[in-house]
Structure 1
């Protein structure tokens, strides 16, 4: 059985949309806020339509065996400073757990940018009725967007920093 869900998260970010867009597109800046939990993480990022990102790490929880995490994405549509659409797969220990279609909208508003994150998820493997898995994914997405806001606030300004857009990096 599969379970389908959709959720949306909205954030006001106190910077212009070009800076928010740069935080998604520039690999060096992206590493400041997009991370998998765990250790030994590796990342490859190619920000263009048809490109994508591969991230891997090993997560060890309390009283649990280590889990190998992998996140593979592909950019479907990019409208600079306005919209990013991508699909991704979440894999745990070699098993596809869920796949999602994510739309990120960036709209100028007084004092910054309104970011609208909409995620349509298909859980292929879930716990119980899947409601805990959805809560976990929604919470992880909210935490990631908190990290984005923190990266945008941390100095110096990210304006002009476009190096590393297609680079690979690791932790």
Structure 2
């Protein structure tokens, strides 16, 4: 059995769409907010249609055995400063857990950018009815967007000090 779900997270960011887009495209900036949990992480990022990102790490939780985490994505559509569409797979200990289609929109607002992150997910392995897995994924995505906002704020502060 598989479980299909979808969610959208919207955020206001205090920078123009071009700066938000760059935070996705530029690997150095991306590393400041997009990270796998755990230790020994490695990343490869190729920002172009047909390119993607791979990431690996080892996560050890309290009272649990270490888990090998793997993230593999492929960019499907890139509309500079406006939109990204990509698919990704989440693999734990060599087993595919879920795959998602993600659309990220960057819409200009008077004082920054409205970011809409829409994720359509298929859980191929899940716990119980899958509700906890969806909550975990949605929560992780929200935390990642918090990291994006922090990276954008720290980058802006650094620019203002120059």
Range class of TM-score, shorter chain: over 0.9
RMSD: 0.9
Q: String of CA shifts for 1:17-76, please: whole Å, max 9, x gaps.
A: 000000000000000000000000000000000000001000000000000000000000
Structure showing greater relative contact order (alpha-carbon pairs closer than 8 Å, 6 or more residues apart): 1
Which residues of structure 2 form unaligned runs of 5+? Answer: none
Counterpart check, 1:145 vs 2:145: yes
State how far apart, in whole Å, the 1-side matches of 2:27 and 2:3 are: 32
State how far apart, in whole Å, the 1-side matches of 2:3 and 2:46 are: 30
State how far apart, in whole Å, the 2-side matches of 1:86 and 1:55 are: 15
Shift of 1:84: 0.2
SS across alignment from 1:146: helix
Match of 1:113 in 2: 113
TM-score of the pair, normalised by structure 2 = 0.96
Match of 1:4 in 2: 4
Match of 2:64 in 1: 64
Aligned ranges for residues 69-80 of structure 1 at < 5 Å? 69-80=69-80
Aligned ranges for residues 1-171 of structure 1 at < 5 Å? 1-154=1-154, 155-157=157-159
SS across alignment from 1:126: coil
SS across alignment from 2:138: helix
Shift of 1:139: 0.0
Q: How many positions carry a matched residue from both structures? A: 158
State how far apart, in whole Å, the 1-side matches of 2:47 and 2:158 are: 23
Shift of 1:157: 3.6
- After the TM superposition, which segments of 4 or more aligned residues of structure 1 sit over 3 Å from their partners? none
Task: Report the structure, 1 or 2, having the larger helix content.
Answer: 2
Which residues of structure 1 form unaligned runs of 5+? Answer: 159-171
Q: String of CA shifts for 1:126-159, please: whole Å, max 9, x gaps.
A: 000000000000000000000000000003249x
TM-score of the pair, normalised by structure 1 = 0.91
